Amino acid sequence: MRALVLERKGVLAIRDIDLPDQLGPDDVRIKLHTVGICGSDVHYYLHGGAGPRIVNAPMVLGHEASGVIVEVGSNVEGLVAGDRVCMEPGVPDFKSKATKLGMYNVDPKVTFWATPPVHGCLTTTVVHPAAFTFRIPDNVSFGEAAMVEPFAVGMQAAVKARITPGDIAVVLGAGTIGMMIALAALAGGCSKVLITAVHQPKLDIAGRYTGVVPINIRNLDVVERVLEETGDWGADVVFEASGSPKAIASLVDLCCPGGTVVLVGVPTEHNSLDIAGAINKEIEIRTVFRYANVFDRALNLIASGQVDLKPLISETFAFDDAIKAFERAASGLPNDVKLQIRLAD
């Protein structure tokens, strides 16, 4: 099977590789069409690992994917060969305690594409559980469908925030995930989302959406601005999508009494969440680990026109240029939000 293989830290190859391809009764076989490049793919490429997860053997990259079903297992209902689909890349033990509780994303046994030692999907075909394969509405393109995976993180953040319609939110960080959160929060009930960053190009892209207010924190005091926008009350919901210690330190001041903080960005260094301040305002702090039960909801919002992800697809590469695509992603151009690789026509 032809695939984009991370041979080891810093070394990519497009080559044939043996991959498991046995179709179980509850599985479908999918011919890949479009796969997006995630920050984590780039991280594995550049650093050969992420925290405790080390790339010790050649690994196929990619987990943001859409494609076409070519074969279905004997038990599969509701999906047939020819269906255009996108795939949820993390598969739990279906009989685990976490799955029974409806939070399969935190099942300790989840296997996730392109997370060592599990191969990703930047290859010709994959076998995947039908339960994690979603038909794409006709008016949604393969490119948009491959955006559902990163958007799902934003959706999970919006779900966890338990937004009350009309809430005012702040999103700290305007990277890809920050933008996904901003769009999901607006579609999920917020009246307005203030998004912060130090780099203007990303803020300009985010600011084109109705309801998004970009704030360059080089020039403006966010807390002051948020109090202004909220009658000195504070934001109903504050999403942390930067992992930056400075952002984490500001969460309590941005948030209203009884309000909600949602932590999405994983801090790499030591952090200093203001616990005493959080107690004083009786703030709730929720966290997001990937997502559960949001792929179909994300597709509904895109198909109905409530969410438009197309402007965030910065460029699409042919599979033969996949290594070039990764190099571009690694270079972090200021206007790039999402780069994608097309594997089929």
CB of 17 to a second copy, least distance (A): 28
CB of 73 to a second copy, least distance (A): 11
Is the Cβ of residue 291 or residue 317 nearer to a second copy in the bound state? 291
Q: Which of 32, 130, 241, 322 binds a second copy (CB under 8 A)?
A: 130
Residue found by looking up tokens 């903080």 in the block? 261
Is the Cβ of residue 44 or residue 134 nearer to a second copy in the bound state? 134
Is the Cβ of residue 210 or residue 331 nearer to a second copy in the bound state? 210
Is the Cβ of residue 99 or residue 124 nearer to a second copy in the bound state? 99
Query: Measured between alpha carbons, how far is 114 from 122 in angstroms, rounded to an integer?
Result: 9
Query: Measured between alpha carbons, how far is 269 from 244 in angstroms, rounded to an integer?
Result: 8
What residues are paired with 237 via a beta bridge? 169, 260
Q: Pick out residues in 87-126 that bind a second copy (CB under 8 A).
A: 94-108
Q: Pick out residues in 237-256 that bind a second copy (CB under 8 A).
A: 248
Q: Pick out residues in 27-86 that bind a second copy (CB under 8 A).
A: 78
Work out whether 278 is an interface residue with a second copy (CB under 8 A): yes
Work out whether 128 is an interface residue with a second copy (CB under 8 A): no
Is the Cβ of residue 54 or residue 289 nearer to a second copy in the bound state? 289
Is the Cβ of residue 56 or residue 287 nearer to a second copy in the bound state? 287
104 token code pair: 């399969």
CA atoms lying within 13 Å on the CB side of residue 43: 11
Residue found by looking up tokens 């970009």 in the block? 214
Q: Pick out residues in 148-207 that bind a second copy (CB under 8 A).
A: 155, 158-160, 162-168, 184, 186-189, 191-192
| Burial class (CB within 10 angstroms; exposed 0-12, middle 13-18, buried 19+) of 335 | exposed
Q: Pick out residues in 280-309 that bind a second copy (CB under 8 A).
A: 280-289, 292-294, 296-298, 300-301, 303-306
**Can you list the pairs that 8-16 forms with residues at least 24 positions away whose Cβ atoms lie under 8 Å?**
8/48, 8/55, 8/58, 9/45, 9/46, 9/47, 9/48, 9/49, 9/55, 10/45, 10/46, 10/48, 12/45, 12/61, 12/322, 12/323, 12/326, 13/323, 14/319, 14/320, 14/322, 14/323
Work out whether 127 is an interface residue with a second copy (CB under 8 A): no
CB of 306 to a second copy, least distance (A): 6
Query: Measured between alpha carbons, how far is 316 from 54 in angstroms, rounded to an integer?
Result: 28
